[in-house]
Structure 1
Amino acid sequence: MSRLQHFGWFLARGFGPHGWGHPYLDWDWRWTTPELYRQSARELERAGFDFLLIEDAPSLGSADTIDLRVRHAFGGPKHDPLLLAPYLFQATQHLGVIPTVNPAGTLPYTAARQFATLQHLSDHRLGLNVVTDTGSARHFGDAPPLGHDAAYDRAEEWLGALRALWRSWQDGALVADPVSGVYADGRRLDAVRHRGEYYAFDGPLNALPFERGEPVIASPGGSGRGLAFAGANSDIQLALAPLTEASVRDYRARIHRAAAERGRAASDVRILFAIQPVLVASAEEADRIVAASGHPDDAALREIARRQSSDLETDLTTLDLEAPLPAGIFGEHVSQGSIRRLVGDRDVASAPLRAHLTALSTLGRISDRSGFVGTADEFADLIEELGEWGNDGVLLWGDLHPVTVHRMLDELVPILRRRGILRREFVPGGLHANLRAF
């Protein structure tokens, strides 16, 4: 039986040059102004999506890869998604907006105050996608970058500090009684003297407490430390895993165990699997696309290498297609998830770069569960099947150009609603309330 699932949109390109490199650039949307994003946010809300999550990378990368990242706008430029959020809140009434934030970039007190302000301005629709990008460290001070696990340790201290500040107004601290003339009771404000491994500051926070919950916390990450962080802290976990029943159930069980170890319930974390489908009009068209994708020429492989170089902050374009990846080519700061997407289950010591890039080029059919090319009905079948395995929802992956949004959703949304998978109405109370509605 079909069950409602949550839907989010992952703005994978971030607040960057939307339309660049695509024919729809000639629609003449300006990516630096808000209306492109406002229009698409309205369409996502109309479609019943819970939230829009905006990727970000504050750095243009290392000196060796900056040109690769900006030449075709794969990795930059990017503007700050936190400053885009108010425009999107103004354009919508129910849609949650989740900009990506980096604990290294903002001290806890400043971050807690800014996020509290946006939570109130948005009527409790703010979320924070907490990432531990260590490659950006040099932009925020002269301290050496942290290792993978230590960056998560810092993020956990940072998030705990934010919560301590948000909760520094005890129950009853806000009086707001015109008759007595008392606005707040200072005796009910906690000083919050924090002296941690990475941060030191005093409270209380100079911002009002929340009426309907703190900002929603989202996190990516597939490492053991990343899953532990999600179990302890996150309301939404962005999942990348093979969409087989065994894999989905195993991934969910790992998150739920991590939550239980920190005294939380499994239902405290909504797990959404990220999918980037290629939706086409017919099964025959899908078959043609899949067949062609398995035979990329060298020019196509070089294009994939350029894109991967941006994500991996490692120049793959100068490497021999017929040789294996050099040992130690990826720095410690490079995302383990990004490396896994490149190498898959192939033997890194023997598989040539051509094999890795060809695997990324090769698409599969939704109908046989080998990939994500297919019709809207076939994709709805997959989402329905995920629901039978206990899935909480799906994160669709793409840019936010209105052409992209309509191509993916125009046929899909009615199908999902007729099957009882996609919500028709929101509940009052903000993002937390809608995530907990089912």
Structure 2
Amino acid sequence: MSRPQHFGWFLARGFGPHGWGHPYLDWGYDWTSPALYQDAIRTLEQAGFDLLIIEDAPSLGSAETIDLRVRQAFGGPKLDPLLLAPYLFAATERIGIVPTVNPAATLPYTAARQFATLQHLSGHRLGLNVVTDTGSARHFSTTPQLGHDAAYDRAEEWMSAVRALWRSWPDGALIADPAAGRYADGTRLEPTIHRGEYYAFDGPLNAIPFTDGEPVIVSPGGSPRGLGFAGANSDVQLALAPMTEDSVRGYRSRIHDAAVAAGRLAEDITILFAIQPIVVSSAEEADRIVAASLEPDEATLRRIAERQSSDLETDLTTLDLDRPLDRGIFGDHVSHGSIRRLVGDHDDDAPLRRILAAHARLGRLSDGSGWVGTADELADRIEEYGAWGNDGVLLWGDLHPVTVHRTLDELVPILRRRGILRREYEPTLRANLRPF
């Protein structure tokens, strides 16, 4: 039997207009209503997925790129995923829900109290995808936005402060003994006085301690500073890397080294590689889709440029497609990983047209050139990742029920028959993420 792995779904479009720009918009779901997401999350739980991670960006971007972000709903509007989480918890029993949170947007005390509340209400199924987006800084203060590494420094302080508040009720502080007539011992509470570079507050937290562990911390990021943050803080790493054996093993090694350098064990971090498969009914259909993608037209290239402009908060549509891309157009706030994903392995002389065309072209699962293939072919690839020591994968897509069923209906039975996908859950998200 094959090696079991962990599975998650990355809601890449965030809590936004699901179905927009797709034929299945006419299913008639209202993206501002919980029903769409509750329908899909029940399917993910039935499938045995460990967690759902909900992407977010609190900003519509700079004045120059707002229209690009909202024109086709690539980058907005987006509602707050933290407030969607209770509706998803109410619709499920075991799967973990992981909204994205930004240390720039919420002060540590408020964050610690809100997250503690959701951890209790959910039966300890909450996770937090901690991101360091700095482009939204102007929405929260007039302080100049931080650079890439400084934003991680702030996130490190924020994470430490939140955890100190969660732990301000030590063992013995909560008594809850009706016979003794005593609920808590206030003399045991930690004052938690914090005076840092970015935050200043006093505790203790007005929330009781957890019975089954703190919320699970997730982080993305492939820069040296991002890997350092993950090594010190994360329970799950959202990994974006080429899915070759050398790349997967190398990325895992860097994360494990970062964990050990922070005084933790390598196995303390579950590494989930994000993949975006297109599951089709036959090899012939896969070949047809791949062939049709090889020569993208101008309209396709423009759509890709608009989508990339949204992610990068940099308008690529105004650039000459036949000139090399000037990497200097990207501000310091732009994610290094996003720039790498745009450029790929192209050199500095590559025209923008060639870079965009590479994003349009699809490849086959069967030969490792891409992600189009049958459910059996996708299962083969995932099984191969397990042979490389992989912890699991995140399927990347929207959360529309059509997308979820199209991807999973044939795949889940195959993975279960091969022993790759769980059939039963543990009581909490943290327990579900333990090594098999």
TM range (shorter): over 0.9
Separation in 2, partners of 1:415, 1:35: 28
**Matched residue of 2:135: which SS?**
helix
Q: For residues 117-172 of structure 1, what are the alpha-carbon distances to aligned partners after superposition, in whole Å with 9 as ceiling and x for unaligned?
A: 00000000000000000000000001000000000000010000000000000101
1:26-425 mapped onto 2 (5 Å cutoff):
26-348=26-348, 350-425=349-424
Report the count of equivalent residues: 436
Separation in 1, partners of 2:190, 2:376: 54
**What TM-score do you get using the length of structure 2 for normalisation?**
0.99
Separation in 2, partners of 1:327, 1:43: 42
Letter in 2 for 1:9: W
**What TM-score do you get using the length of structure 1 for normalisation?**
0.99
Letter in 1 for 2:67: D
Deviation (angstroms), 1:424: 0.5
**Matched residue of 2:137: which SS?**
helix
Letter in 1 for 2:430: H
Letter in 2 for 1:101: V
Letter in 1 for 2:363: G
Asked if structure 1 preserves the Cα contact closer than 8 Å seen for 2:267 and 2:435, the reply is no
Asked if structure 2 preserves the Cα contact closer than 8 Å seen for 1:11 and 1:53, the reply is yes
Asked if structure 2 preserves the Cα contact closer than 8 Å seen for 1:274 and 1:395, the reply is yes
Deviation (angstroms), 1:436: 1.2
After the TM superposition, list the runs of 4 or more consecutive aligned residues in structure 1 that deviate by more than 6 angstroms.
Answer: none
Separation in 2, partners of 1:94, 1:361: 37
**Matched residue of 1:7: which SS?**
strand
Q: For residues 189-248 of structure 1, what are the alpha-carbon distances to aligned partners after superposition, in whole Å with 9 as ceiling and x for unaligned?
A: 000111111111111000010000000000000100001111110000011111111111
Separation in 2, partners of 1:361, 1:181: 67
Letter in 1 for 2:360: S
Asked if structure 2 preserves the Cα contact closer than 8 Å seen for 1:427 and 1:437, the reply is no
Deviation (angstroms), 1:327: 4.7
Asked if structure 2 preserves the Cα contact closer than 8 Å seen for 1:16 and 1:78, the reply is yes
Separation in 2, partners of 1:377, 1:65: 41
**Matched residue of 1:207: which SS?**
coil
Q: For residues 41-80 of structure 1, what are the alpha-carbon distances to aligned partners after superposition, in whole Å with 9 as ceiling and x for unaligned?
A: 1000000000110000000000000000001111000000
Separation in 2, partners of 1:22, 1:316: 23
**Matched residue of 1:288: which SS?**
helix
Q: For residues 367-413 of structure 1, what are the alpha-carbon distances to aligned partners after superposition, in whole Å with 9 as ceiling and x for unaligned?
A: 11111111110100000000011100000000000000000000000
Letter in 2 for 1:267: E
Deviation (angstroms), 1:326: 2.9
Asked if structure 2 preserves the Cα contact closer than 8 Å seen for 1:231 and 1:256, the reply is yes
Letter in 2 for 1:263: G
Unmatched tracts of structure 2, length 5 or more: none
Unmatched tracts of structure 1, length 5 or more: none
**Matched residue of 2:273: which SS?**
strand
